[in-house]
Amino acid sequence: MEKFFSDKEKGFKIKAIRTDGGGEYSSGEFQRELKRSGIEWQVTVPYTPQENGVSENSNRVLVERANALIQHAGAPKRYWAEAL
């Protein structure tokens, strides 16, 4: 995980990670790595995507672009994942 939390590549330090408390970020190994790296884990209220403004905006942009690509290409909707 050292590479994941590296701040040398872009010159930015991760200060906090915000999630909805899902199990994918609650493993002991992940929590130890966060603590070792000085990163705070912030848990939002479940089912409140408005608390994750940046990630929700990014997701919306990706979905809109994928839909536009499919529509422009005249491709069937089953190729949505490939467009994304």
CA angle (79, 24, 3) in 5-degree steps: 90
Taking the C-alpha atoms of residue 33 and residue 12, their distance in angstroms, rounded to an integer, is 17
CA distance 40 to 3: 18
The tens-digit pLDDT sequence of the chain (84 residues) is 555 555 566 677 888 888 877 777 888 898 899 999 899 988 887 777 666 677 777 888 889 999 999 999 999 999 988 888
pTM: 0.48
What's the CA gap between 33 and 5, in Å, rounded? 9
As given in the structure block, the two tokens for residue 14 are: 């991760």
